[in-house]
Structure 1
């Protein structure tokens, strides 16, 4: 599994350099208002791809938020697609101002990665779950519990990045990917998980405990 550099993730370098170079060119030729606009865009892109360090909780059996953002869904459902069992589904919506680097919610072994191309509806809509581009990772903990987490592209997002590979030994809190420019992450937990968050709550990837597995 790759380890991106901090405080800016390497996937952001091409975008940052492009806008910074374009801004410099306009400044040199005297197009001040365009240069100021370019500077603002460059600053936004730089902030978007920020990759701050996080303090990973050491609490046993804790499941961490895989992304920064706002919890928009917490419900117990029957999952026929990923885990084939009753689960808690939690959805975290990331707006363009959130950190978009995703972090592993649990330690374990990567058992399956499923990429599905699709459309780009708004990530906080019901259509996003059904039709948007997404990438699913199924992880098995050391105690045999399986969870799934799904990176879902949004209205502006056009690329999902997942650095995991099959049989990787995942470590809770480590970076595993990102989604560009507005998106969401859904996580599916066993139905007997003790949920520690609620709808409307803001969470931080790799730091906020969203639940405790019942071992």
Structure 2
């Protein structure tokens, strides 16, 4: 397991703040060891959680150009036909993955190809499972085309997630499972597929980014 580069500043700041807090408590309240050690224990748990949040576990990634691979860890909360209004402007098959704070938060390219669109949108911070979060929340939309199909992936901020990082720019050639971006502290990723695409996941299924097959391209 390694730590993602997006976590360096957050982990360092957390360590400094907690170290100062605990140092002050042990200095000013030496006669109250129960308080000092309780706060130390809570601080340690919080610090380990922050480190865990930015983890990149060692995985054998699933590579196959006929497959759409999960761009994120989490739980499948939506599988339905809907109208995608930003890029395709027609009916698409939407698959949505909810990422809890305990999930790995690296986002990966579901297919290889050329980046056709990479667009950030400011917005609200509705809870990630809210039906309007896909169109009203802060989000970043990416479209990747492989010459046969185009797949739209949308990173969506939630009530806790207040920073979306995306590394892609229009015109880039990207490979399946390379890092697309990162969302801090839980959120959601939507995938828009051509109608009729064979989906290999079910509602409430837990998926792993870079490993789980979401769908098979025709």
TM-score above 0.5: yes
SS state at 1:82 partner: coil
Asked whether 1:115 is paired with 2:110, we answer no
For the aligned residues, what is the CA RMSD? 1.5
Q: How many residues are treated as equivalent by the alignment? A: 208
SS state at 1:126 partner: coil
Task: Check 1:112–1:165 CA distance in 2 against 1; reply closer, same or farther (3 A cut).
Answer: same
- Structure 1, unmatched stretches of 5+, are 1-5
Deviates more, 1:58-67 or 1:201-210: 58-67
CA displacement, residues 77-117 of structure 1 (integer Å, 9 cap, x when unaligned): 23232223331100000011000110110000101111110
The equivalent residue for 1:104 is 109
Q: How does 1:21-170 map to 2 (within 5 A)?
A: 21-29=16-24, 30=26, 31-141=36-146, 143-170=147-174
The equivalent residue for 1:3 is none
C-alpha contact 1:67 1:206 (8 A) present in aligned 2: yes
Task: Check 1:132–1:45 CA distance in 2 against 1; reply closer, same or farther (3 A cut).
Answer: same
- Whole-Å separation in 2 of the counterparts to 1:206 and 1:168: 20
Deviates more, 1:187-196 or 1:74-83: 74-83
SS state at 2:98 partner: strand
Normalising by structure 2, what TM-score?
Answer: 0.90
Normalising by structure 1, what TM-score?
Answer: 0.91
One of 188, 208, 212 as aligned partner of 1:204: 208
Shift of 1:176: 1.2
- Structure 2, unmatched stretches of 5+, are 27-35
